[in-house]
Structure 1
Amino acid sequence: MKFIKLHLLLLLGLTFFSSCTSSKNNFVEDTSNKKKPNVVIIFLDDSGYADFNPFNDDKNAVATPHVDQLSQEGVKLTNFYVPQAVCSASRAALLTGSYPGRTKVFAAHKAKERGLDTQFPTMGELFEKSGYKTALFGKWHCGDQEDTRPHNRGFQETAGLMYSNDMWKYHPVAPEVWGKNPLQYWENGKVTINDITKDDQKQLTKWYTEKAVDFINRNNEDPFLLYVTHSMPHAPIYCSDEFDGKSGKGLYADVTLELDWSVGQITKALKENGLDENTIVIFSSDNGPWSIFGNHAGKTPFREAKATSFDGGTKSATIIKYPNGLKAGAFDKAICSIDLLPTLANLCDVSLGETEIDGKDIWPYLSGDEKDNPHPYYAFSTGAQLEVIMSADGKWKLHLPHKYRKVKKYGKDGGYGKYTREKIELSLFDLENDPYEKVNVADKHPEVVKELQAFAEAHKKKFYSKVTL
């Protein structure tokens, strides 16, 4: 009997020892306590596609080493789109995974406007409900009422502006309209600067960055969602004294240098806290450059710019880095910002709830497990006007007849230029062979036109019933 008891004790001891050493040597992975991925989204304002080195071949361009490194370590997305190339609409689409036609968030909101309706849950709200620490540092622009400000939309820590930095008393065209209300700086639901000055504008990039780094340092034990929405390089452009004149290539290049520095500070904080491998970092812009400001605006090789449905407005230079899930490289297929929410929710085990959205989980597509985009098409609008349907593979782009604004005269050193209005007729572009949307090939591919028109009719019926195609 004693022998049997001794044998059992030895067996239990060996089993315990074996389980400990197996765990220590990763022979058996305990997934029950595996930490969910962190998410960091760095969203610039009106950045040009070619502003940063990974997306241009200009040897004279200002050096952006931190964005370069992010690109080398991550996946460079060369055909990443936003569904509307204007501030509020683009941001609401990212946060809700829905087209502007669904949320009815169009263009750019003014001060005190309601913005994104609370019936549409934001990324912040969904991640917060799943146990994530959440923060937004930067520009919000999705509502300026008590219940639609970021601290009541799922972001536990907040700091920044409620809308664009040009909506103030120094607006270059209509100060009496945009300066009717003071441009305020908010922190955690309270106004800490009632009327932003030009000197304050110089500190915005630094302030947002310092807040982001501090948030990472304090939350390195918990999964977090960090949304850094820089006010720059949206005109009027400013940078801190440390970067003023540093590039030797003008103020816009100085601003770009400081934004690159910000990326470096954030990625450095992730690495120093041991979070680099398990953090999804997304670097992008809400839309293309505000070209009318000339040398105070970014550069894009594509046609037109901000507030149009041409690629110069809707295509944003984007990088996604996730060492635990994505191999470094390039991804040339088309995807859209509405897909980020459902994709991140899948990766982070976050419930999307019952609200219908338009984005889809594109992780199998992005990671190479599936070759086809789960969407049949992508739709693009300006304001409440449906203007473009693009095939989901990004090859074919059908412009429905619409008017658009075109820069007639470029401004200089912060001055506002002049626009003219032009009209495009029904036009099909083969983006694979004509990425600059110059040659209308509708007559050569009537079957493609017919298919995309059918998608347009269906999209119109669902979201734009009052729009005439």
Structure 2
Amino acid sequence: MTRISKYLLVVAFLIAATFAPGVFAAKAPNIVIILADDLGYGDLGCYGHPSIRTPNLDRMAAEGIRFTDFYVAANVCTPSRAGLMTGRWPIRSGMAGSTNDVLRVFSMGGLPTNEITIAAALKSKGYATACIGKWHLGHELQFLPTHHGFDYFYGLRFSNDMEPVRGKIPKNASSSLHPKLEWWNSALLQNDKILEQPTDLSTLTRRYTEEAIKFIHQNKKQPFFLYFPHTFPHVPLFASDAFKEHSARGLYGDVVEELDWSVGQVLNTLRKEGLAENTLVFFTSDNGPWLIRDLAGGSAGPLKDGKGSTWEGGMREPAIAWWPGKIKPAINHELVCSLDLFTTSLCLAGVALPPDRVIDGLDMRPMLFGTGHSQRQLMFYYKKNELYAVRKGSFKAHLITHTGYSKDAPEKHDSPLLFQLENDPGERFDVAAENPEVVADILREVEEFNKSIVSVQAQY
């Protein structure tokens, strides 16, 4: 074979290889999950709020998928975050809560070390990983993010109201619309070391955002996973000087509008670095609004109740998926859950799901990319470690009901309440009597699901 013939053969091979599927694998996509804290279903402009301005999230929704029926794994912080991180109902990992609803400063437990997080799974494929923001999955050393697959952690160990200063502070200080920084003693960590205490809570959103942008810049040449769980709008509320008295909605609106600014900064960084077309960004909240905080709390819009309840307002959240060139603009009405972010992230990265445990998350890729529909038909609503309600399709059956943070005893229903959520998202009209076969079907699903639950030690 002549030298020219060999050259032509090599060129032909390279051309064929370029167009042959799977020969040269594309770079694994970056994944960014931005999580607000206590943001309600009705708190964003694109979800109908009349006075809170959220232009960046509105644009994100217009360019991506805005979900109307997206749920989180629990109605309060700790179990919701555990479900998102592991793709498993918190009851399976001991993170559903038994004595307390969330991990407290005195809690000794945390996300078990044998649980596999999104970060730990993606690291096996060479991903750089960072958690920037509020963790709330255990503050003892072995439970911190750097022991759960994250290369880097910058944020608070738990909620910003859990470390008040010693001594007397005003009653209901966390709900104040004129909070003072000296009332709080929150510790800001970098990896496993305290960087600052007390922390200037008014600068948190800005500093989190600067750290997130720095992480993107530092890792733009390799695939990365950025978990960005904000501290706000959980009380006590603080906004930076640039956003104080910025919103017609008052301090709560100021805080949400600064979060919107933060999202815009992340998306603009991805655009400027040429990373947007290879990055999935997902925005949502950990649970519904804390309604008992009055004007320091948010809004569930048309939904009933809020944080701490298993009514829709407690667990149905605003959610937006954005990926230019991959995700087409749409409003999606299918049933989706935060558990699905675990499975979808692993599938996008080419990581096999753990075969040694039940994974409850489902793959959202067909729905995201317009090639299919949501695989999810069931949603289970837990309050601590007890099952309160189940949704199948458009119907939701309540086995137990309780208003969030009410001192009244929960009400058990021998005959479940039933609501058709497509035409009654506010859960006002019980249609159980007209649909006995639906109730019976959901009860069969409960019986089958309970068979898959193995008792484990509660972590708190």
TM-score, normalized by the shorter chain, greater than 0.5: yes
Shift of 1:16: 4.1
Shift of 1:151: 1.1
1:154 equivalenced with 2:149 (yes/no): yes
Between Structure 1 and Structure 2, whose CA radius of gyration is higher?
1
1:350 equivalenced with 2:357 (yes/no): no
1:231 equivalenced with 2:227 (yes/no): no
The one of 7, 15, 21 equivalent to 1:13 is 7
| Mapped partners of 2:164, 2:146: distance in 1 | 26
| Mapped partners of 1:182, 1:349: distance in 2 | 42
Structure 2: which amino acid aligns with 1:134? T
Distance 1:120 1:20, change over 3 A: closer
- Retained in 2: the 8 A contact 1:120–1:355? no
TM-score, normalisation: structure 2: 0.88
Partner of 1:411: none
| Mapped partners of 2:390, 2:327: distance in 1 | 29
Q: What does 1:41-440 correspond to in 2, within 5 Å?
A: 41-56=33-48, 58=49, 60-106=50-96, 107-111=101-105, 112-169=107-164, 183-196=186-199, 200-301=200-301, 302-356=303-357, 357-371=359-373, 373-391=374-392, 393=393, 395-405=394-404, 423=411, 425=413, 426-440=416-430
Shift of 1:232: 0.2
Partner of 2:178: none
| Mapped partners of 2:20, 2:31: distance in 1 | 27
Spell out, residue by residue over 1:180-237, the C-alpha distance to the aligned partner (whole angstroms, 9 max, x if none).
x9632110111112333xxx11011111100000000111100000000000000111
Shift of 1:83: 2.3
Shift of 1:353: 2.7
| Mapped partners of 1:429, 1:29: distance in 2 | 47
Shift of 1:51: 1.2
Distance 1:343 1:173, change over 3 A: farther
State the secondary structure of the residue aligned to 1:463.
Answer: coil
- Retained in 1: the 8 A contact 2:103–2:137? yes
Spell out, residue by residue over 1:348-392, the C-alpha distance to the aligned partner (whole angstroms, 9 max, x if none).
112333342221223224444334x4345221101111101110x
| Mapped partners of 1:437, 1:76: distance in 2 | 22
- Retained in 2: the 8 A contact 1:385–1:464? no
- Retained in 2: the 8 A contact 1:247–1:257? yes
State the secondary structure of the residue aligned to 2:452.
Answer: helix
Unpaired stretches in structure 1, ≥5 consecutive residues: 176-180, 408-418
Shift of 1:440: 0.7
Runs of 4+ in 1 over 6 A off after TM superposition: 20-23, 171-175
Instruction: Select the structure with the greater relative contact order (CA < 8 A; seq sep ≥ 6).
Output: 2
Shift of 1:422: 6.0
Shift of 1:446: 0.5
Shift of 1:93: 0.1
- Retained in 2: the 8 A contact 1:87–1:141? yes
Aligned length: 435
Q: What does 1:432-451 correspond to in 2, within 5 Å?
A: 432-451=422-441
- Retained in 2: the 8 A contact 1:404–1:421? no
Spell out, residue by residue over 1:144-193, the C-alpha distance to the aligned partner (whole angstroms, 9 max, x if none).
12111111111101100010111022687699xxxxx9632110111112
| Mapped partners of 1:446, 1:465: distance in 2 | 31
| Mapped partners of 1:350, 1:323: distance in 2 | 23
Shift of 1:267: 0.5
TM-score, normalisation: structure 1: 0.87
Partner of 2:443: 453
Unpaired stretches in structure 2, ≥5 consecutive residues: 174-183
Shift of 1:298: 1.2
Worse-superposed segment, 44-53 or 361-370: 361-370
Spell out, residue by residue over 1:250-288, the C-alpha distance to the aligned partner (whole angstroms, 9 max, x if none).
111111111011001101111111100010000000011
